């Protein structure tokens, strides 16, 4: 039995932190793993920045609520879900992406969670586990599911390399160049044909 | 992070084989595990019966296509999916239940698959794994997901006993009597409140 695991940001929705930086005009939120390679240090810094600007969960949710899925993403996932079980694997936080999940008609999502104080302050976060995307693929394979995966970033590579079938989607040139054996797609039409071929 | 695992037949849709027996007027298809306790023997017998009546996959899909989800099931799962990731764990077959999955707006489903010949004859089936419901719960727990489960039958008990939180839903009196420690619900309203409490 086949399931499809998809990365979220860059595949179905825009990059959250870049959008939040633009919409809040706090350019420091544009920090990425290129600036601070350690994910924990990066997230801790981002949450400090939000806090120092007095931005709580409701503020950031309303900013994220103004975002839309990528053009064509809803139609893509609607069709894919009618043909395969789909699980979104993401490093983002449930509380952030709920407004976008609603716009994608609530696909199943395994990601991380924020620690939120009663006054709405975001005091920290809870990582589901280290290398969570790859370990989710392994868990699905352990119950005899065949996993097809797609993602766009360096943090997707361990997931893609573990899946039974994998593709890059709208990945930067550097990732495509370093992974020439992975098929690389730019359109949802191509990704649909790859993820749910008509011959099962 | 919380996920909800639901049994399918009896929880969201009617019992498939009983309905197929009624609609095809082949009473022998009413055989259950009470008549043939071994699941493999039972399924093999059911497929023989279909075959002896010349019923192929398209015939049985059109019979199943006339069925509807249980009253209120769509509204229940729509609301639940907006609050939790939901995975349906079932012993049924993808190819049978697709028409009903469409009516439930395509929730994620882990189940079994049929072996279908080019002429549409159902020649056998492929069990994803033994004790598949329980092992799916274990796999989800292995990636630090907290599992709430609900089901109605004896074949759900190993899943329910493995989940972090579990309830019976519209279960026969015998199962409720034998499992007095499990909460038992009769309405979707109660099951919703249990599966996705507002305090997380």
pLDDT digits (tens, 9 = 90+) for B22-71: 999 999 999 887 788 888 899 999 999 999 999 999 999 999 999 999 99
List of chain A residues whose C-beta atoms are within 8 Å of the C-beta of residue B139 = 139-140, 142-143
Task: Name which of B1, B81, B128 is nearest A143 (Cβ-Cβ).
Answer: B128
Cα B92-B104-B189 angle, rounded to 5 deg: 100
pLDDT attached to residue B199: 60
Q: Residue B140 falls within a domain, yes or no?
A: yes
Q: Strand, helix or coil at B97?
A: helix
Q: What is the pLDDT of residues A13-67, one digit of tens each?
A: 999 999 999 999 999 999 887 788 888 899 999 999 999 999 999 999 999 999 9
Cβ pairs A/B, distance under 8 A: 64
Q: Residue B119 falls within a domain, yes or no?
A: no
Q: Residue B21 falls within a domain, yes or no?
A: no
CATH number for the domain including B172? 3.40.50.1000
Distance between CA A29 and CA A37 in Å, rounded? 15
How far does Cα A142 stand from its chain's mean position? 23
Pairing relation of β-strands A146-151 and A165-169? parallel
Q: Residue B107 falls within a domain, yes or no?
A: yes
Q: Residue A168 falls within a domain, yes or no?
A: yes
Give one DSSP letter per residue of A65-111, joined into a string: HT--PPTTHHHHHHHHHTTSEEEEEEEEEHHHHHHHHHHTT--EEEE
Distance between CA A161 and CA A157 in Å, rounded? 6
Distance from CA of B136 to the nearest CA of A (A): 6
Task: Name which of B86, B105, B112 is nearest A108 (Cβ-Cβ).
Answer: B86
What does pTM read for this prediction?
0.94
pLDDT attached to residue B25: 93
Q: Residue B174 falls within a domain, yes or no?
A: yes
The answer to whether A158 contacts chain B (CB < 8 Å) is no
Domain count across chain A: 1
pLDDT attached to residue A176: 96
Provide the ipTM.
0.93
CB atoms within 10 A of CB A101: 23
pLDDT attached to residue A37: 80
Q: Residue A22 falls within a domain, yes or no?
A: no
Work out the angle between the directed axes of helices A57-65 and A94-103 (0-180°, nearest 10): 30
Say if residue B200's pLDDT is above 60: no
Look up the domain containing A184 and give its range: 2-13+71-113+128-195
Distance from CA of B74 to the nearest CA of A (A): 14
Q: Do B129 and A143 touch (CB under 8 A)?
A: yes
* Average pLDDT in chain B: 94
Q: Residue A33 falls within a domain, yes or no?
A: no
Enumerate residue ranges in chain A where pLDDT < 70: 199-200
Distance from CA of A83 to the nearest CA of B (A): 9
> Lowest-confidence range among A14-23, B75-84, B97-106?
A14-23
């Amino acid at each position: 039995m086949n399931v499809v695991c998809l990365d979220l940001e860059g595949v179905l929705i825009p990059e959250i932190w870049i959008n939040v930086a633009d919409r809040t005009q706090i350019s420091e939120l544009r920090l990425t793993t290129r600036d601070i390679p350690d994910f924990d240090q990066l997230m801790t810094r981002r949450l400090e920045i939000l806090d120092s600007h007095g931005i709580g969960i409701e503020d950031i949710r309303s900013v994220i609520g103004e975002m839309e899925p990528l053009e064509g993403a809803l139609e893509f996932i609607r069709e894919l879900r009618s043909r395969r079980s789909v699980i979104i694997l993401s490093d983002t936080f449930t509380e952030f992406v709920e407004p976008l999940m609603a716009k994608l008609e609530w696909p199943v999502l395994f990601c991380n969670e924020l620690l939120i104080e009663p006054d709405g302050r975001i005091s920290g976060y809870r990582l589901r586990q280290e290398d969570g995307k790859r370990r989710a693929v392994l868990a699905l394979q352990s119950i005899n599911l065949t996993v097809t995966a797609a993602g766009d970033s360096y943090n997707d590579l361990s997931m893609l390399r573990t899946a039974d079938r994998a593709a890059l989607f709208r990945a930067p040139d550097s990732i495509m160049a370093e992974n020439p054996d992975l098929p690389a797609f730019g359109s949802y039409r191509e990704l649909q044909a790859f993820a749910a071929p008509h011959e099962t």
